[in-house]
Structure 1
Amino acid sequence: MGSLAHWTGREARALRRALRLSVRGFADRLGVGARTITKWESLGSRTTPRPFTQSILDTALAAADAEAKQRFELLLRQEGEKPVLDYYRSGPREWDYETWADDLGRAAACLARQDFKFAGSLIDRWLRRFTPSELDNHGLHLHSRSLVLLGDLQRDQGDISGLLSAPHTYRCAHQFFRELGVPRRAAQVELSLAVVEEMNGRLELAASRYEALAADSRLSARDRTRALLWVGTALSKKGANEHAMTVMAEAIRRFEKLEEPDDWSVAHQKLALAHRGAGELGAALRYIDVALANRSADSPMHRVRLQTAHAHILLSDRRTSEGGLQLLDGAATTSRRFGMSHQLASIEAIRSAFERVN
């Protein structure tokens, strides 16, 4: 927060009240006499502290927490005058940024458990409240993070094409991160865009983008390994299961080295489906059992993906198909409950393929 352009006794009194200090406590904080504080407050805007004391007041304001700063400005406004502040503007204040960052953390937690409605409300309140033109770089960074979370929400709900969809939202976030000079965030958005390409069935494009990102130094080792795993996923969906298994096995090795148990478990789930695609049902069952036994995250999305993968494998054998259909029913129920339309569409496609063959 900027300092005051000019301190008078009026602003000094407002700061003391905002800090919730007595006259003596405020004097001790500033290192001046209690009589000085009393004089300032009695004369109000008719007195001006000396330049050195003004700098002390600047420091006291800068060191205050966000709630005290908000109280300070509100106290000045209640007196019917605008505070003469360098930072005064129509856009956000420092405490807005702190609350915004907190809300983004809450929104991410809501998305992890597929509470789309509450997550959407937390994100939307900030995207609607301030336009990019009102924001400094800090605000633009928070705006961009908000767009990424909105894109994640749209993607998880199956909104993956059109103007009001995940790709459009991700591209807006990507542009902001590039302009802000934040290459790691920009690369993470590129990874999300590749996921959407895969979801839209553009497997060749998705695989090529994953492959490039798997070697991209802008990303962390974990994100590069996730990109490598998704190279294997795209290959498996194209029917290149042998190649996919080799890629996925390397991803599993890297996740183990990185000590990322959740990703390691997901990689076994993907590997199980590759073996299923190759007709190796025994291996597919072994790997899906590893994924089931080692899952730690139990969000609705994660549960549905595991159930769907397990069901897909069980439906490949007439002897286990009944269990597979039961798992599909459970996954479909959860998908409907949480509004996961893309997952529901995948479940119905698996069911339809099974019914056509049988």
Structure 2
Amino acid sequence: MGTRRHGLIRARKAAGYTQETLAVELGLDTTTVGQWERGKSEPMPYKRPKLARILDVTLRGLEDLLAEGTVAEPASSSALDTDVVSGPSVDYETWADDLDRVAVCLGRQEFHLAKLLLDRWTGRLVPSGDDRGLYLYGRSLRLLGDLRQDQGVLTGPMSARQSYGRAMAVFRELGADRRVAQLELQLAVLDEMGGNHEPAAEQYRQLATDTRLDARDRTRAQLWVGTALSKAGRNADAITFIKPAIQRFEALEEPQDWSVAFQKLALAHRGDGDLSQAGVAFQVALDHRPGDAPMQRVRLDTAHGHLLLSDPATADSGLKLLEGAAATSTQYGMMHQLQAISGIRRAYERQA
């Protein structure tokens, strides 16, 4: 949670504005100024010069007012050091093409090239007042968050959480409700990856019925309720969320999500002590592999290895699968996957 910014509140009142009238003057949603004053977000860089003029303070003075609150998800990690560039000087077509290339790179775990492409845009400019430029900037920050998540950099400076928070601030100002909801979903994923399984499950549960999201994202949220509950040891409850998600993915004709859901179902059955049903579910996942990208191979082999460790007769095969998955994770820099594999091995060794 942020800290209330009393200095910012006093400056607004001294300038003769309510939260609502200041938001209108800045062309923002009427709740935005309240978010700033409660320390939950910060003004985007391109808004700060105008805000400083309205409050009759210098830019440095405005930064001091904002520094009073510790922001959970800052809108910008270095606002004054980022160039503010107007629309006409930016080649939006090239930018959009680069973001498409980034998405392809992330799908192949080509992190170095993805970062180079993103740095062309996120490292040197923030577009000012142009909705198209801001939208591309928000997409860039979202993809940067995806990159850092895949690398296992979840919290702190230069982390997935920080990038997602900055992207959310952009999309919130644009009124892009679906993009905001998608980022809320990603933040819940980070909570789950960080071990906060019950809070993540509750957030997933809320988003599973959130009409800001499309049908696929709502179904993914429902599946992830199950994965979070399974990690929390509530495997029987998890199964009641995973099975309907499988049916919905089939109806939506989403074969990759459908296959991954069977992996999750197998692990939930394993946790619930039903190795027979776990084996049946995982065989479906093996027969309908979601793809051959490094991340997909590692996740499938990790789940398979985890399942094989449950039976002494297949434990050696499970350890070999985990060893291969760990080598691939190291090769491609997928540190969170490597940590998960290490955790499975340690748990097995304690029980052996």
* Bucket of the pairwise TM-score, normalised by the shorter protein: 0.7 to 0.9
**Aligned position for 1:6:** none
Alignment of 1:327-346 (within 5 A): 327-346=321-340
Instruction: Check if 1:143 corresponds to 2:137.
Output: yes
Counterpart of 1:113 (choices 108, 111, 115) is: 108
Residues 308, 347 of structure 1: 8 Å contact kept: yes
**Aligned position for 1:189:** 183
Structure 1 residues 217 and 320: CA distance shift in structure 2, 3 A: same
Contiguous gaps of at least 5 residues in structure 2: 1-83
Residues 151, 336 of structure 2: 8 Å contact kept: yes
CA displacement 1:286-320 (0-9 Å, x = unmatched): 11111111124211111100000000010011000
CA displacement 1:96-154 (0-9 Å, x = unmatched): 1000000000000000010000001111111123224x351110000000000000000
- What is the rounded CA distance, in whole Å, between the counterparts of 1:296 and 1:282 in structure 2? 22
Counterpart of 1:158 (choices 149, 152, 155) is: 152
Instruction: Check if 1:203 corresponds to 2:197.
Output: yes
- Structure 2 SS opposite 1:345: helix
**Aligned position for 2:61:** none
> Runs of 4+ in structure 1 displaced over 3 angstroms?
89-95
**Aligned position for 2:241:** 247
**2:123 alignment partner AA:** R
Counterpart of 2:126 (choices 104, 116, 131) is: 131
- What is the rounded CA distance, in whole Å, between the counterparts of 1:353 and 1:212 in structure 2? 32
Normalized against structure 1, the TM-score is what? Answer: 0.73
Counterpart of 1:177 (choices 163, 171, 176) is: 171
Residues 91, 130 of structure 1: 8 Å contact kept: no
Residues 257, 290 of structure 2: 8 Å contact kept: no
**1:105 alignment partner AA:** D
Residues 197, 203 of structure 1: 8 Å contact kept: yes
Larger % of helix: which?
1
Deviation at 1:92, TM superposition (A): 4.4
CA displacement 1:240-292 (0-9 Å, x = unmatched): 11111111000001001111111000000000000110111111111111111
Residues 290, 296 of structure 2: 8 Å contact kept: no
Instruction: Check if 1:218 corresponds to 2:196.
Output: no
Instruction: Check if 1:303 corresponds to 2:330.
Output: no
- Structure 1 SS opposite 2:158: coil
Contiguous gaps of at least 5 residues in structure 1: 1-88
**2:131 alignment partner AA:** N
Instruction: Check if 1:275 corresponds to 2:269.
Output: yes
Deviation at 1:95, TM superposition (A): 6.8
**2:199 alignment partner AA:** L
- What is the rounded CA distance, in whole Å, between the counterparts of 2:221 and 2:165 in structure 1? 19
Residues 304, 331 of structure 1: 8 Å contact kept: yes
Q: CA RMSD in A?
A: 1.3
- What is the rounded CA distance, in whole Å, between the counterparts of 2:305 and 2:270 in structure 1? 11
**Aligned position for 1:37:** none
- What is the rounded CA distance, in whole Å, between the counterparts of 1:136 and 1:95 in structure 2? 11
Whose radius of gyration is greater, 1 or 2? 1
- Structure 2 SS opposite 1:215: coil
Alignment of 1:71-82 (within 5 A): none
Deviation at 1:175, TM superposition (A): 1.1
- What is the rounded CA distance, in whole Å, between the counterparts of 2:85 and 2:258 in structure 1? 48
**Aligned position for 2:281:** 287
Deviation at 1:331, TM superposition (A): 0.2
Residues 92, 130 of structure 1: 8 Å contact kept: no
**1:118 alignment partner AA:** L
Residues 194, 206 of structure 1: 8 Å contact kept: yes
